[in-house]
Amino acid sequence: MVHKALTIAGSDNSGGAGIQADLKVFSAFGVYGMSAISSITVQNSMGVQNSYPVSPDIVYQQIQSVAEDIKIDAFKTGMLQTEENVIAVYQAVKDFKLKNFVVDTVIRSKNGRFLLDKDAVETFVKRIIPICDVITPNIDEAEEITGKRIKNIDDMKKAAVEISKIGAKAVVIKGGHLPQENKVTDVIYYRGDFVLLEYPFVKTKNTHGTGCTFSAAITACLAKGIDTIKSIRIARAYTQGAIENSITTGKGVGSLNHFWTVL
């Protein structure tokens, strides 16, 4: 039996993030990958130069076309860019009763460029977070959602609880942006309990697409019927290996190696 996963996200022409990264991850996990493109970005290892949103009607139709023909075992969202696209995705999830929903909270790029319009953030919080099964914000994104500063692990836990109250079933706050000596701690909050995942800090600039990779790996695991916590653990270990085996692709921030497990 071939399991199938859908990614709804932006296209990264440089291949390190977005739709391109998600489909690589699905393939690495032996999952059949499908896509609905929400934005066309212009970027390379030096950063995002521009982005052009796809119209919400087209975003909806892409999801509809797949959902009416192919069983979607799990799906994820990444960059949605506009409020209209947020609403289109919300409506599609409801209309086609899609399950196993992973949200990669794409709000800004590494160079600070907004990838979700400022006026769309509130709609994203109200519409998307309440219907997702797993959400994976980093520190900056968790602060954007909660409106509160995060300075330590306790703050991460409080933010995870607050985000879960919005409706997310499982919250994974990634600790890569939190200064810690030689390690990274991710905080999972699921069904009233905390799980902390600790990994060695990898000193590399090649981290383009880390969030996309992690969330896509969770999606692939859920598509295969793996339970939520185990899916997150497997995805985190896979992402760690992809960082440790990262690739220098250009003059700036390189990409993760999505196929490190098959080398």
Q: Quick check: is 105 catalytic? A: no
Cα–Cα distance list, 78 to 38, 57, 200, 228 (Å)? 9, 18, 26, 19
Which entry of 207, 219, 228, 239 is annotated as an active-site residue? 207
CA neighbours closer than 13 Å in the CB half-sphere of residue 161: 8
CB 68 within 8 A of CB 40: no
Which entry of 33, 174, 175, 221 is annotated as an active-site residue? 174
Q: Which amino acid is at 62?
A: Q
CA–CA gap between residue 163 and residue 174 (Å, rounded): 13
CA–CA gap between residue 150 and residue 140 (Å, rounded): 8
Q: Quick check: is 174 catalytic? A: yes
Q: Quick check: is 112 catalytic? A: no
CB 168 within 8 A of CB 129: yes
Which entry of 82, 123, 146, 210 is annotated as an active-site residue? 210
Q: Quick check: is 209 catalytic? A: yes
Which entry of 10, 16, 176, 209 is annotated as an active-site residue? 209
Q: Quick check: is 211 catalytic? A: yes
Which entry of 4, 76, 77, 212 is annotated as an active-site residue? 212
The catalytic residues are 174, 207, 209-212
